[in-house]
Amino acid sequence: MVLTLLFTTFLTVFLAEMGDKTQLTTITLSSSTNKPLAVFIGSSLALILATLLGALAGGSIANLIPEFLLKLLSGLVFLIIGINLLIQSKKENNNDSL
């Protein structure tokens, strides 16, 4: 059971991080500093700390808010973010065509 959770978590986070702004920033820093090991260590520590904070917060929040409500709230937040991004993109396309 623990190995399944470990593998699922690893795979989910690994796929989610591929090509995101963190990876692009790491690539940019590494190529501009010629110190890839230092960039790797710094970005790895930052990701570990951010993940630790997320896991601790998630564990604490799960004790306070029922799971179905937490899923509903997070879904609504992602939906609002998505709609906001679509509106901004539409505005930018309209401004570019002027």
**Two tokens, residue 75:** 């879904």
Whether residue 39 has pLDDT greater than 80: yes
The pTM of the full predicted model, rounded to 2 decimals, is 0.58
- How far CA 5 is from CA of 14, 22, 60, 70, in Å, comes to 14, 24, 19, 20
Residue 98's pLDDT is what?
63
> In angstroms, rounded to a whole number, what is the distance separating the alpha carbons of residues 42 and 35?
11
Q: Which of 51, 69, 64, 53 is nearest to 14 (CA)?
A: 51
User: How is the chain split into domains, by residue range?
Assistant: 1-64, 66-98
* pLDDT tens track for 48-82: 999 899 888 888 888 888 889 988 998 999 999 99
Mean pLDDT value across the chain: 87
| pLDDT above 70 as % of the chain | 98
